[in-house]
Amino acid sequence: MFVQSGRRCRYALLVQAEIRHADPSKEFPTQENCFILEVSNDAGDPDISIARARVRPGVATAWHRLEGIVERYVIVHGKGRVEVGDLPPTLVGEGDVVRIPPNVAQRITNVGDEDLVFLCICTPRFIQNAYVTGR
C-alpha cells in the first residue's frame, strides 16, 4: 500500500492501471469562453481530474471559482495573462504552473496570436456542481 506522510493514500485502494487516450473529437465549448477536453475525470480515480483547456487568441475566460477543489494550470502552448484571487495579473507561458486554492476567483486571457493550451489538474476531481460563475 502507498503511504504518504504517515497517512494511507486512497490511490492504493481505488486506482487501477490504465492507459487513457485523449480523443480530440470530444472537445466541447464551455460557458466560460474556452474549450475543454476531459482527459481523465471519473470515479475510478476520485482524487484527481485532468482536462485540456484551449482559449482562442484575444479571449478571456469568465471569472469563476471551484468550491472545495484545488486547481492547477500547466501551460502547454501559448501565452496568457492569469488572474487569481488578489494576485496581480501575471503573464504565463509554456511550462509555467499556476496554483489556485479552493474557492478563489480566477480567469485567464490569451494574449498571444495562437491558441492558449493548458492542462487543468483538479484535486479532488472536478465536478460541475463545484463550479461557481463570477468573482
Residues 6 or more apart whose CB falls under 8 angstroms from that of 33 comprise 55, 59, 60, 61, 62
Angle (CA) 67 42 20, round 5°: 125
What pLDDT is attached to residue 88?
98
pTM score, whole prediction: 0.88
What pLDDT is attached to residue 7?
47
Which residues of the chain, if any, have pLDDT below 70? 1-14
Q: Where are the domains of the chain?
A: 20-133
What pLDDT is attached to residue 16?
84
According to CATH, the topology of domain 20-133 is Jelly Rolls (2.60.120)
